[in-house]
Structure 1
Amino acid sequence: MALTLDHIVIAVKDLDQTIADYRALGFNVLQGGDHPGRPTYNALVVFSDGAYFELIAWRSPSPGERWWELLNAHGDGIVDFALLPPDTATTVAVAKDRGLAYSGPHDGGRVRPDGERLRWQTARPPSHDLPFLCGDQTPRALRVPEGNARVHPNGARGVASLALAVKDLDASLAHYRALLGEAQAANVSAPFLQPGTGARVGTVTLGRSTLVLTQAGPLPGTAGHAASTQLGTRGEGPYALVLATDGATPAPPPADRTHGAAIEFAAA
């Protein structure tokens, strides 16, 4: 089974306000619940392709936790993303054999508002150009609801692409080839220069979603400049995304309504 995009993490200071804003933008937002042993709680925006947004907030400060540190220093925004492994422990072991020192598996879980207890295992990457892994130990449908939960008034169907800022494109593409292995290695492109931006770019195809890795370029108003800004503030990692839609494509919502997540829409 291939690795696929599982979810994108958006850290926010006020979860209730974030839920209200995303609903006003035409997203179907679900209450997620609390994470036992952590001061975090969340809400979900689940898409028909199986990927979702995790809107996460903290009930109390959490110094030393990277997501909270980014939120505290830079405000609301995208802080991470996860891939879904067929088996977390096996994927970690294989990644280590290929030179990627993922830590884990680490046990995790969530208690939904209806009392259902979910269990999963995560693994953390050796560098922030790579995703973490999140594999279920209880049925995934309990964590990622199906059916009408995935239907959005704005027509959003799934994550078409996710933009990542990286320091060294060649090294990052090599990391992804090692993570994905021979079966998915062809899904990792060679690096290329993006015309008119001064940026070097590479892509990684994960099912219906594409990761767009950008090594910063100097030209204002371009993807390369956006990647440079990301590197200078939050560091390597995701900073913008495109959602596939049915029919009409809404205008890009303002960042204050999406709580720092740069979101665009494109017809599927």
Structure 2
Amino acid sequence: MRTRCSHVLLWVKDIHQAVRDFRQLGFTVDYATKKQNAQHAHIWFREGAIIELLTSPSNAHYFKWLIDIFAGLGAGRRMIRWSQEGEGFCDVALVSEDFDNDLSTLQQSGIQMGRVVPWRRTKPDGQKTRFRFIYPRSERLPFMVSPYNPSQHPDETNHENGATGLHKVHMDVSAQDWQAVRQLTAADPTFNLKHGAITKVTGVEINGLKEDLDPNLLHSGKVNRANFV
């Protein structure tokens, strides 16, 4: 496996309010698509993994069967969980430079996967990018994405609060998920795993932050300075 952390997902009720709040915290935040229809926004860093703010319909449970048809069994439960659990970190994505071979390795190891979904996205400036993603059937396991083609990474990434990169992603991992999560994330030292009742992202550390962040603006995401979690 040659996967590494791509992005940590933070679910919010109102994407526009979340963008305003994170900008107030000193982050540069870019909408993934045109603002009026946006459901995703990105906090890019100079290199490595990023934070993705996202929202999804609160009535996703009505469309569970459609989501499962589109992305495979387990995808519906995953998206329903995002909104039902409320604001905060809801998921994590792993990027693979060798998507097809890594997918084959996962399947051979017994990790049941959904369907590979090809996706296109048009940025606010009109640039189009393509990528693929796939969800494991177990809705708590990290999911896998291919690199963006072309890359979406900005030429410059500067944050007023001094942030330079995602240092650590802290995760609780249940006993039944432990082996699979270890396999998925073992090559990336960004992850700090510990045993827990359920598999979830519990917080992140960011390099370069000049001061602690106001928790009232973090939409229940635990975001701390590196080495302060």
Tell me if both proteins adopt one fold, taking TM over 0.5 as the criterion. yes
The code of the aligned residue for 1:49 comes to E
Relative distance call for 1:54 and 1:62 in structure 2 (3 A) is same
Matched to 1:62, the amino acid is A
Identity of aligned residues (%): 23
Distance 1:72 1:210 in 2: 24
2:195 aligned partner, one-letter code: T
Residue of 212, 219, 227 corresponding to 1:259? 219
Q: Counterparts in 2 of 1:82-97, with a 5 A limit?
A: 82-97=93-108
Q: Confirm or deny: 8 A CA contact 1:88 1:105 kept in the other structure.
A: no
Q: Is the Cα contact below 8 Å between 1:156 and 1:244 reproduced in 2?
A: yes
Tell me the SS of whatever aligns to 1:17.
Answer: helix
Matched, 1:166 2:153: no
CA positional deviation for 1:28: 0.6
Query: Contact 1:100–1:178 (CA<8 Å) still a contact in 2?
Result: no
Distance in 2, matches of 1:104 and 1:258, equals: 33
Distance verdict in 2 for CA 1:113–1:90, change over 3 Å: same
Deviation at 1:177, TM superposition (A): 4.6
Tell me by how many angstroms 1:117 deviates.
Answer: 2.1
Q: Does 1:12 align with 2:9?
A: no
State the superposition RMSD in angstroms. Answer: 2.6
> Match for residue 114 of structure 2?
103
Q: 1:7, 1:81 within 8 Å by CA — same for their partners in 2?
A: yes
Higher strand share: 1
Task: Measure, in 2, the Cα distance between the counterparts of 1:173 and 1:67.
Answer: 18
CA distance in 2, matches of 1:164, 1:131: 11
Q: Cα distance 1:87–1:137, how it changes in 2: closer, same or farther (>3 A)?
A: farther
Amino acid paired to 1:46? W
Q: Which of 123, 148, 151 is matched with 2:134 structurally?
A: 123
The answer for the alignment partner of 1:43 in structure 2 is 41
CA-CA distance at 1:71 after TM superposition = 4.5
1:147 matched to 2:155: yes
> With structure 1 as the length reference, what TM-score do the two structures score?
0.70
Change over 3 Å in CA distance of 1:66–1:40 after alignment to 2: farther
Instruction: Work out whether residues 117 and 132 of structure 2, in 8 Å CA contact, stay in contact via their aligned partners in 1.
Output: yes
| 92 and 205 in structure 1: CA distance in 2 versus 1, 3 angstrom threshold | closer
> Which one has the largest radius of gyration?
1
Counterpart for residue 70 of structure 2: none
Match for 2:154: what amino acid? Answer: E
Whether the 8 Å contact between 1:7 and 1:54 is mirrored in structure 2 is yes
1:130-177 superposed Cα distances (whole Å, 9 cap, x missing partner): 2100103622x23xx2332x2211111222111222221xx4342145
- Mapped to 1, the partners of 2:60 and 2:38 lie a distance apart of 9
Q: Which consecutive residues of structure 1, in runs of 5 or more, have no partner in the other structure?
A: 181-203, 217-230
SS in 2 for 1:91: helix
The question of 1:206 aligning with 2:211 is answered no
Aligned twin of 2:73: none
Letter in 2 for 1:264: N
CA distance in 1, matches of 2:193, 2:182: 14
